[in-house]
Structure 1
Amino acid sequence: MISPTKKTTTALLIAISILAIAAYFSSFTNGFTHFDDQVQITENTDIIQLNWQKIKTIFSSTYVGMYQPVSTLFYGLLVGFFGMNPEVFHGFSFLLHLINGWILFSIFKQMNVKESVAVLLTAIFVLHPMQVESVSWASATSNVIFTFFYLGAFWNFIQYGRNKPFSTGTFVLFILACLSKATAVSFPVVIFFYLLIWEKENWLKSIKIISPYLLISLVIGIITIISRESAEHLTDLSLSYTALERILIFCYTLIFYPIQFILPLNLSPFYSFPSKINDSFPIIYYIAPVFVLLFSVLIYRFRKNQFVLFGTAFYLITIAPVLQLIPVGSQIVTDRYIYLSGIGLLLILIPILSAIKSQKVIPIGTLFIAMGLAFYSYNRTQVWESDATIWADVIEKDENVAQAWNNKGILAESIGNFADAERFYSRAIQLNPRYADPYSNRGNVYAKQGKSQAALNDFNQAIALKPNHADALFNRANGFIKVGDYNTALEDLNASLTIQPKADALTNRALIYIQTRKMELAINDLNQAIAMNPRKAQAYYLRGICKYQTIDSRAGCEDFQIAANLGDEASKQALEQYCR
């Protein structure tokens, strides 16, 4: 017979799951965005029509400066089974998020947390609005995937691994977590402190237990630093901020997450580094060290409580890689970083909640808190509906974010609104003159309007700021092709392809080879372009020209037919003229 307490727990967990579905339901129909989705998913030819060669490529490549082959493999499997469908990605991410909540509940139970408290903490994890970014943004699915393996490894360790010199299950899950996202390298340090604080093991034995995990973390860490550096994601803050200002930035990032977790106000998809007005930061940065000191005093006061001590360690260890000690990316903080590390904050709350004596307060409070969080999360999912809603929300919170204006420009350009696109790119440049992307993008807009010299000036500036800017090199090459300067165009295309092999660049280089009668080289490039993007109509058309003129007219007509089926008008004309 199921006890009344068990029935209440089951009912609350079911209610939390239903509230989660209600909170995220509208996000299932959200589309892909131009916020890394195009690089990791929609334009990533490595995940289309998976085969062994592509799987090997995935495990030997980085995307957006990140080595996460298992996550990328999941993307490929989703595309392979269901097509390039954003609803599938969002649904998969939500389902995994819900499973992560269930695993977390099991972990709380294994740590002897009172059942009603475990349910409340699980509700906060599943429904907190700061989790929306990880669940509703397709590119952040890797965050949910790596946490699934991370929590699985931790659950396995406290269930079995703590009593063994080595746990195969924990080790395999840990490796899968690391290969899903490099942030998982924190795991060995987490279990080290778990052994010290929770199991009261001596530190020598604890080091021996975690040593195999540390070796994997070291390898993944080195790969990550190299890939981030090659993608130019490592930021030298000393160029913009003094040593004291960098300390203030570090303190701000340290206290941002606990404060936002408790009071999730003014959330945004993008938080930029602080701008100095009259050579001063916003006041919150000067207050941040005081908050750090206050939190430190509170933690020290309750240091003898295992939950407080281990929760603090869990938070600091898991958040440490993104605290701008090694500045990465263009955001100072981001909501998705709390997805795993927020569990440490939940652990700190356990002694407070466990002190409540009434049997009814926590279950009733759980329902009210869950409904409030679900409503807020529902509103946040609307922000991730499209590029337009994302960047409108960012600018509403902070109109001085250069990346937001650059992305608004991309959106305007995509619908042919060149006047607004030019204005938005110019605004981004005004806010951050050292930001290469809007120069390249504005140059592309100028080129489309026939403003060749203005376009060339912008491409040159983008390349001067970022010499390995593949898109700027590609765009500048197109300008040289238009004026017949094939040698210079070829240099730029070669450089672009060295940095980032893309079907468009291969196709354009093949066009130069055709113009210069190097048909064999052209066919080789077009074969590669088609392998990368089997729906690249222009590549089939150009290959048809090459084959028709040099190999076999029938083979050329076959390529014209494929291109025509893909909607290429030039190929339809070629079929009428040459293939009757």
Structure 2
Amino acid sequence: MPARKNKNKRSFSLTPLNSTLIITLLLLILYGHSFSYPLDKLDENVIITDHLELLKNPSNFNKIITSDPFFNDQPSSFYRPLQNLSFMIDAMAGNGNPLAFHLSAFILFILSLWLLFHIFRISGIDMHICFGATLLFAVHPFLVQTVVWIPSRGDLLMAVFTLTAIISLLNFLNHQNKLFLLLHFFSIAAGLLSKESSLAIIPVSILFLFHKKITSKTIIGIVTVYLLMIGCFFLLRHRLSIGFLPVKEHLLWLYRGLPAIPELIARMIIPLNLSPMPVFSVFFVVAGSILFLLIILYIIKQKDRAVAFAVCWYLLFLLPSLIYKNEGIFGYQYLAQRAFVPLAGMLFVLVLISKPYHTLFSGNGRLILAGVTLLFSLQTYSYSHNFSDAVTFYSMVIRANPNAAVAHYNRGLFYAKNGSLQQAITDFSFAVTIKPDYAEAWANLSTAKEKRGDYAGATEAATRAIQINPLYHEPYYNRGVALDDMGDYISAIRDYSKTIELFPHHTRALNNRGTAYANLGKIDSAIADYNRAITIDNQMTEAYSNRGMLRVIKADYTGAIDDLSVVITRNPQDAQAYYNRGVARISTGDRQGGCNDWTKALELGLAQVKPLIEQNCR
């Protein structure tokens, strides 16, 4: 007698909600450890850490939304105000804590995955394929940089807005509700203000319009709005002096970046030998070319317009990311996070091709999915630890590409900032050995050698940087410091003057030139330089201190007291400032005030003031 089925037994059923929860929980396990990672890697410090005070102050809103991503005052090719604004929100919410930045990135990543899942569903893809594809994409090790490296924010925002634009367009075409069309236009606008590559959503949307059977009038109306949006986008860039490189230069970099098209396809299938600053691999370029050719043959044979559309998605979003200058084998030839949205298109290709085979996601197919998910998850967890700090990050890059002069240089900067000067010198030396025309590396090698007391070596390194780029102001300053240390004040003044000529707001050069003038007895010239430095930056305490000392010499005691009081207010532990102000006060007849200052200087460890106290303060 056959056994009866247990009617109370319930099988687990996938839904969009529990699919999202499963993926989110798994990603929390994989990425939770990274939420405390410092922001010190490859532009994280340049974009965020160095500008935390700017970002934390809400009164800087206008500057935030009108600046380039690096908050430079100089013209730039990039304009991403929503990225800047998101960093401002993170900085204010977390008071500069990296946790806020990492949480925002993680949330945007989850939201992007949910939107991608939704696109699959409304495209008629089986739930099991939707879940399996989104799960594998979520835990894919190639996307680690998108989640963990905070300057990927523009790519995450672009993903959210472009995927929303696609979904809203689909809903408009299916339901003819104009609110969806308004959401579509809004999402495109937000994408354009997040990253320039979002322009690709417009041709992608146009392709989709022609793929669907809608009236010519509707198409013309929508395309007209697209053209107006493009015009407004470029007009805004022009008003803010945001330019582009010459077209020929963009085309040159695009040509050099074309191997990324097949390489990224291959790395999506075989995520091995990953690096956050990758260079092209013959194996991956060839393998990807074969895979791409097979996809094209599939489209031709099956006449599958949906797959053709997804391939166009991949290409149209990828190509804009390839037009920008990079350092090639000395740095990177493409960046992984820029492939996030393009690879979503390639994932769509694979999902559409597998659509007839949805039964593969049952039985043994589920075991294979679980195995690949586990493999990807372990690799993602391991790979993400390479982003834990700058030294680990750049060391990984160097292991993958020993010719990465940029990685040696950036690791050297980190070592120098943290006082490991010999390690910094080693890295800068490697960088200039690999890339002899690396002016920035020569300049920083000069700085590190000067701090180590190797003034001749510092002078030589700075001279090499100047020979490579005579318009680069920093090596003139560095050489001036080394010459100053050697007592060659005349030559130092010459280099400081060249620095100021090239960069008139270089307050350190003004301050140092003032000190060199003072050492030559040119007190008026020195004070004039200190005046300029303070006018440019009234927070430069050292310039107040130096001017205060010279005003004592010039018998301008009132001015000296004012300057030295500023110094003491900002640094109450400055014994020398108390001593000098004491001299000025005694000279004006304020014996009590002077004695109080000298007594404080003695308390702070300035022993040489003791005889003056014994002589004048009894």
Asked if residue 428 in structure 1 is aligned to residue 434 in structure 2, the reply is no
Question: In structure 2, what residue type is equivalent to 1:525?
Answer: I
Residue in 1 that maps onto 2:398: 395
How has the CA–CA distance of structure 1 residues 68 and 223 changed in structure 2, closer, same or farther, with 3 Å as cutoff?
farther
Q: 1:139 aligns with which of 126, 142, 151?
A: 151
**Distance between the aligned counterparts of 1:437 and 1:189, measured in 2?**
40
Q: Letter of the aligned partner of 2:309 in structure 1?
A: F
CA deviation map 1:87-125 (0-9, x unaligned) = 221122112211222222223333333222222232233
Contact 2:496/2:509 (CA < 8 Å) preserved in 1?
Answer: no
Asked if the contact 2:82/2:194 (under 8 Å) is kept, the reply is: yes
Spell out, residue by residue over 1:442-463, the C-alpha distance to the aligned partner (whole angstroms, 9 max, x if none).
1112222333343233223334
| Residues 55 and 88 in structure 2, CA contact (< 8 A), matched pair in contact too | yes
Return closer, same or farther for 1:49/1:468 CA change in 2, 3 Å cut-off: farther
1:372 aligns with 2:382: no
* Residue equivalent to 1:192: 206
TM-score, normalised with respect to structure 1: 0.81
Superposed displacement of residue 415, structure 1:
4.0
- Picking from 418, 421, 431, the partner of 1:418 is 421
Asked if residue 171 in structure 1 is aligned to residue 189 in structure 2, the reply is: no
- Give, in whole Å, the separation in 1 of the partners of 2:527 and 2:507: 16
Rounded Cα–Cα distance in structure 1 between residues aligned with 2:377 and 2:436: 40
State the 1:144 CA deviation: 1.7
1:73-94 residue CA offsets vs partner (Å, 9 max, x unmatched): 2222222232222222112211
Q: How many residues are matched? A: 546
Q: Distance in 1 between the 2:415 and 2:25 partners?
A: 38
Alignment of structure 1 residues 48-87 onto 2, 5 Å: 48-53=55-60, 55-56=62-63, 58-63=65-70, 65=76, 66-87=78-99
Secondary structure, aligned partner of 2:308: helix
Deviations 1:334-374 (Å, cap 9, x if unpaired)?
21122111111111122333223537356665554443332
Question: Which of the numbers 27, 34, 37 marks the counterpart of 1:27?
Answer: 34
Q: Which residue of structure 2 aligns with residue 356 of structure 1?
A: 357
Matching residue's letter, 1:356 = Y
1: distance between equivalents of 2:311 and 2:237? 23
- Equivalent residue, structure 2, for 1:337: 338
Instruction: Output aligned runs, 1:198-209, within 5 Å.
Output: 198-199=212-213, 207-209=223-225
Q: Whole-Å Cα distance in 2 between the matches of residues 190 and 62 of structure 1?
A: 26
One-letter amino acid of the structure 1 residue matched with residue 183 of structure 2 = G
Q: How does 1:175-574 map to 2 (within 5 A)?
A: 175-199=189-213, 207-216=223-232, 218-219=234-235, 229=245, 249-272=256-279, 292-306=292-306, 308-324=307-323, 327-328=325-326, 330=328, 331-358=332-359, 360-361=362-363, 367-467=370-470, 469=472, 471-479=474-482, 482=485, 483-485=488-490, 487-494=493-500, 497=503, 505-510=506-511, 512=513, 516-518=526-528, 519-527=530-538, 530=539, 538=542, 556=563, 559-564=566-571
- Check the 8 A contact 1:405/1:427 in 2, yes or no: yes
Cα distance 1:468–1:286, how it changes in 2: closer, same or farther (>3 A)?
Answer: farther
Residue 430 of structure 1 and its aligned partner are, at CA, apart by: 1.9
Residues 1:367 and 1:286: Cα distance change in structure 2 (over 3 Å): closer
Check 1:337–1:495 CA distance in 2 against 1; reply closer, same or farther (3 A cut).
farther
State the Cα distance separating 1:382 from its structure 2 match: 0.1
Aligned partner of residue 333 in structure 2, secondary structure: strand
Are the counterparts in 2 of residues 178 and 184 from structure 1 also a CA contact under 8 Å? yes
Distance across 2 between alignment mates of 1:114 and 1:131:
24
CA distance in 1, matches of 2:252, 2:68: 28
SS at match of 2:374: helix
Q: Which whole-Å deviations, capped at 9, do the CAs of 1:461-518 have from their partners, x for residues lacking one? A: 33443455454455345446554346534444435646xx7xxx43543454575212
Note if contact 2:79-2:242 (Cα within 8 Å) is conserved in structure 1.
no
**Matched residues in 1 for 2:298 and 2:550: separation?**
74
- SS of equivalent residue, structure 2 residue 40: coil
Structure 1 unpaired stretches of 5+: 239-245, 275-281, 531-535
Letter in 2 for 1:90: H
* Distance apart, 1:376 and its partner CA: 1.8
Shift of 1:405: 1.9
**Residues in 1 aligned to 2:237 and 2:129: alpha-carbon distance in whole angstroms:** 36
Q: Is the 8 A contact 1:383 1:390 kept in 2?
A: yes
Q: SS state of the match for residue 352, structure 1?
A: helix
Structure 1 CA distance, aligned partners of 2:579 and 2:564? 11
Q: Which residue of 1 aligns with 2:5?
A: none
Would the aligned equivalents of 1:319 and 1:337 in 2 still touch at CA under 8 Å? yes
With over 3 angstroms needed to count, the CA separation of the structure-2 counterparts of 1:339 and 1:463, relative to structure 1, is farther
Provide closer, same or farther for how the CA distance between residues 258 and 568 of structure 1 changes in structure 2, counting only shifts above 3 A: farther
Does 2:138 correspond to 1:126? yes
Match of 2:591 in 1: none
The equivalent residue for 2:608 is none
Distance 1:395 1:6, change over 3 A: same
Contact 2:54 2:60 in 1 (8 A): no
The TM-score, its normalising length taken from structure 2, stands at: 0.76
C-alpha distance in 2, partners of 1:260/1:286?
Answer: 11
Residues 8 and 458 of structure 1: CA distance in aligned 2, closer, same or farther (over 3 Å): same
* Whole-angstrom distance in 2 between the partners of 1:270 and 1:494: 35
Q: CA deviation at 1:216?
A: 4.3
Taking a change above 3 Å as real, the CA distance of residues 520 and 297 of structure 1, as seen in their structure-2 partners, is: same
The SS at the match of 1:43 is helix
Q: Give the distance between the partners of 1:363 and 1:432, measured in 2 at CA.
A: 50
Letter aligned with residue 297 of structure 1: L
SS at match of 2:157: helix
Contact 1:68 1:182 in 2 (8 A): yes
1:215 CA drift (Å): 2.4
Distance in 1 (alpha carbons) for counterparts of 2:127 and 2:264 = 26
**Contact 1:480 1:488 survives alignment (8 Å):** no
Work out whether residues 510 and 523 of structure 1, in 8 Å CA contact, stay in contact via their aligned partners in 2.
no
C-alpha deviation, 1:192, in angstroms: 1.0
Question: Aligned partners of 2:495, 2:65: CA distance in 1, in Å?
Answer: 30
d(CA) in 2 for partners of 1:546, 1:234: 52
Q: 1:487 to 1:225 in 2, by over 3 A?
A: same
User: Greater shift after overlay, 455-464 or 430-439?
Assistant: 455-464
C-alpha distance 440-302 of structure 1, shift in aligned 2 (>3 A): farther
Instruction: Give % identity.
Output: 18
Q: Is the 8 A contact 1:117 1:354 kept in 2?
A: yes
Q: Does the C-alpha gap of structure 1 residues 167 and 544 become closer, same or farther in structure 2, counting only changes over 3 Å?
A: farther
Change (3 A) 1:7 1:301: closer
Alignment partners' CA distance in 1, 2:22 and 2:149: 24
Please say which structure displays the higher CA radius of gyration.
Answer: 2
Helix, strand or coil for the counterpart of 2:419?
A: coil
**Per-residue deviation, 1:227:** 5.2
Label 1:474 to 1:175 Cα distance change in 2 as closer, same or farther (>3 A).
Answer: farther
Contact 2:262 2:285 in 1 (8 A): no
| Residues 497 and 506 in structure 1, CA contact (< 8 A), matched pair in contact too | no
1:116 to 112, 115, 128: 128
When structure 1 is superposed on structure 2, of 167-176 and 334-343 the one drifting more is 167-176
Separation in 2, partners of 1:550, 1:70: 52
